Amino acid sequence: MTESDLPGGPPEPPPDPGPGISHLKLTLIAAAILFLVVATVVLFQGRPQTASAPSTEPEAVPAPAGARLVQVIKPQRRDLTRTLSLPANIAPWYRATLYAKVSGYLKWIGFDKGDEVKKGQVLAVIDAPELQDQYEQAQSDYAIKQLTHERLLSVWKDNPDVIAKQDVDVAAAAAEGTKQQMERRRTFLEYTKITAPFAGTITARFADPGAMIQSAINSSTQANPLFTLMDLDTVRVYVSVPQESALLAQAGVPVALTVKEMPGVEIKGQITRTTESLDPATRTLLVEIDLPNKDHRLQPGTFVNATLALAQHPNVLTLPPAAIEPPANGKPTTVGLVENGRVRRVPIKTDIDDGSWVEVIEGLTGNEDVIVVGGNNLAEGQAVTASPYTLPSGTPAKQKY
């Protein structure tokens, strides 16, 4: 059986689109794409150009294949402070070790270590009965001499021919001498009472009632002290500044104090005074910081750390220390710049360094790409590929001695 024998006859083939229709569609699609491209270019060229803000991050600079990879940074403006960290010692505002000026037995002592006392308050009493006897004897001598002078003066006034004026003057001088002796004895008698020369805290006690107390008039090394008294409401902090920094350690320089036993606490102050003269033995300048201490938390003898802000430079041009090549073989301090994919070295001058940033005072404007990483052994004009500096910045250092 053939296809002509099938019912309905042979199936009709699908219509042929023909080559003309296919080429027409392709042409239209290509024309549309071309139109879109041209329109996009014309649109972007016709838009007004706006000035973009300058970037603070350096852009990667293309360079020939095989160029050394480096990281660069632009100089940055910062506030820099030159600090010096030194050990310090706390001392009281006033300190006195109290001795007896007369000898005798300790009759009474009314205070102990840690007690607060007021100025002029009696702290102890010494029993010295012989001083009382001497004072009373001096009183009697003065009374007799004064009475003798008054009688002679009265007789001379009534009858100058009976007694000479010289005898009256001698009697007056004798009375005055015994009066001075009486006053001296009374003063020594008052020395049997040990009083506080200023308000403060008893920090040491060296004797108990009944102890024999020797006078310290002739030698304090052979006499035993009674008390040590300190005024702790204000303390003095002493710091010895090395010679190389002594000229910067002037009154008014800010100081921050830290104590190991008080973590997280920073006490602010400033240099109050200096000795204005270096110790020839240590070549250091002694400076003093006065601090209020009403709560007595700063105890004399405590070891503290004092950080002195010796120099403060605001808004200066800075670079990381790694970007700076120190002087060597007579060459100045330099930095490496990347310009058009090539290395160029320029000399600079620096000032203070806080350990994280170094101040640049001459040689840069702030728009350069300065090599920080990968700059070792780079020759002048060598090709490099630059990328932004990505290492984290360091923590400002505090110079210690």
Q: Where exactly are the structural domains of the chain?
A: 58-93+252-270+302-401, 129-191
The radius of gyration of the chain's CA atoms, rounded to the nearest angstrom, is 48
Please tell me the number of Cα atoms within 13 Å of 165 on its side-chain side: 2
Neighbours of 394 (CB within 10 A): 13
Write down the pLDDT at residue 346: 92
**Which residue is associated with the tokens 């996009």?**
40
The correct answer on CATH 3.60.150.10 for the domain covering 129-191 is no
The whole-angstrom separation of Cα 73 and Cα 15 is 71
Write down the pLDDT at residue 38: 54
Write down the pLDDT at residue 8: 47
Structure tokens at 392: 């984290």
The whole-angstrom separation of Cα 160 and Cα 193 is 49
Write down the pLDDT at residue 2: 43
Beta strands per DSSP E along 10-103: 68-73, 76-98
DSSP string, 166-198: HHHHHHHHHHHHHHHHHHHHHHHHHTTEEE-SS
Task: Indicate the fold that domain 58-93+252-270+302-401 takes in CATH.
Answer: 2.40.420
Residues 6+ apart with CB under 8 A from 104: 126, 127, 128, 131, 192, 212, 213
| Closest of 1, 60, 101 to residue 385, by C-alpha | 60
Write down the pLDDT at residue 308: 96
Write down the pLDDT at residue 88: 97
Write down the pLDDT at residue 47: 46
Write down the pLDDT at residue 14: 46
Task: Give this prediction's pTM.
Answer: 0.66
Please tell me the number of Cα atoms within 13 Å of 292 on its side-chain side: 2
Residue 324 Cα to chain centre, angstroms: 28
Common-topology check for domains 58-93+252-270+302-401 and 129-191: no
List per-block mean pLDDT (blocks of 10 residues) for the chain, which spans 401 residues: 45 47 61 62 46 45 68 92 94 96 93 96 94 91 92 88 87 93 92 95 95 83 89 97 94 95 94 96 97 95 95 92 87 91 92 88 92 87 89 58 52
